[in-house]
Amino acid sequence: MFKKISLLLILSLLIFMVSAKAQEITGFWFNDVKDAKIEIFKATDGKYYGKIVWLKEPNRDGKPKVDKFNTNAKLKTRPIMGLNILSGFKKSGSIYEDGTIYDPKNGKSYSCKITPDGNNKLNIRGYVGISLLGRTTVWTRTTR
């Protein structure tokens, strides 16, 4: 009887650990169209950030792509590679919120929340004002 209870406790602990890991967003992720890979990391301030670490097409006209759609003229020449696109997310239960996402394809930033779905996918919801007025894309976990 003791062995059965011990085995049950060990299995419960393993399931809990796997579930907790599935909720963790740190690591490498393909965006929804798989033309960019983003590394999400936890910074020393305890918040989560994400930067572009790979692009399917890193160059335009033989030169590295730059943030040409940014509304700030001083930032239009910064490279897309290495660009932080996720900023300031706080974990709240099973979701990550109070952050922003930057879209270098249009130069705009949006409020954002991230919801792990437990199957190596992230639901990334960018919005203006309230979450109902937004769009969700699905990112897929990948390796470096």
Position 25 confidence tier, pLDDT thresholds 50, 70, 90: very high
Helix (H) or strand (E) holding 111: strand 108-116
Q: For residue 126, give every residue at least 6 positions away whose Cβ sits within 8 Å of its Cβ, in sequence order, or none.
A: 101, 103, 110, 111, 112, 134, 135, 136, 137
* Percent of the chain whose pLDDT exceeds 90: 77
Instruction: State the burial class of residue 33 (Cβ atoms within 10 Å of its Cβ: 0-12, 13-18, 19+).
Output: exposed
Q: What is each CA distance from 24 to 28, 100, 117, 134, 144, in whole angstroms? A: 11, 18, 10, 23, 16
- Residue 139 pLDDT: 98
Q: What mean pLDDT is predicted for residues 47-72?
A: 96
User: Could you state, in order of their start, the residue ranges of all structural domains in the chain?
Assistant: 25-142
* Weakest mean pLDDT among 23-27, 69-73, 106-110, 122-126: 23-27
- For residues 126 and 134, the answer to whether their CB atoms sit within 8 Å is yes
- For residues 71 and 56, the answer to whether their CB atoms sit within 8 Å is no
Q: Is the pTM of this model over 0.85?
A: no
Paired with 91 in beta bridges are 96
- For residues 39 and 28, the answer to whether their CB atoms sit within 8 Å is yes
Instruction: State the fold for domain 25-142.
Output: Lipocalin (2.40.128)
Please give the Cα distance from 28 to 141 (Å, whole number): 6
Position 130 confidence tier, pLDDT thresholds 50, 70, 90: confident
- For residues 85 and 107, the answer to whether their CB atoms sit within 8 Å is no
Q: Kindly report the backbone phi and psi dihedral angles of residue 23, in degrees, each rounded to the nearest multiple of 5, phi listed first.
A: -85, -10
